[in-house]
Structure 1
Amino acid sequence: MPGSASPNLSDQRLDEIAAHLRQAFAVNSDDNVMLSDLATALDSPELAEIFQEIATLRNEELQRLERLLGRFAHNDR
């Protein structure tokens, strides 16, 4: 029947379909997609809250590292 999917698609045809799907759903490398963006897209307040907590913890860790490196730099003078 025309238009129906063949149950025996060749590997080459499956690769072609996969390539088209990858191209169609590719994210532009210039776009900075964050996990919080994905949580918002999924409309999950719980996930958004978890990702916000992760971001807060990462920022706190970064600040601690900056202070530590600052102390090392000060001691090296």
Structure 2
Amino acid sequence: MIQDLVPAQFDRLDASPKKTQHVGRVIFLLFRSFVLGLLGGIVGTHHFMHQGGFLSLPLYPTLMRAQFICDGARGSP
């Protein structure tokens, strides 16, 4: 009975590092995309603040200005 349990334990230990490595990679990719998104948000907000001064700091005017710029770039009235 003990001999039956020993190989199962070793198999489980052998499979464990790969699973841990995979989970670590997924967490790393999620963290990286989060950081890149955060940096993009900061850069975008900074850009719009400089375009309209600090009065455009509230989110709504900034979004409206971004929509206006996008509409102008697309060529719609």
TM-score, structure 2 as length reference: 0.43
- Find the structure with the greater CA-based Rg: 2
Q: Which has the higher contact order (CA 8 A, sep 6+)?
A: 1
Higher helix share: 2
TM-score, structure 1 as length reference: 0.43
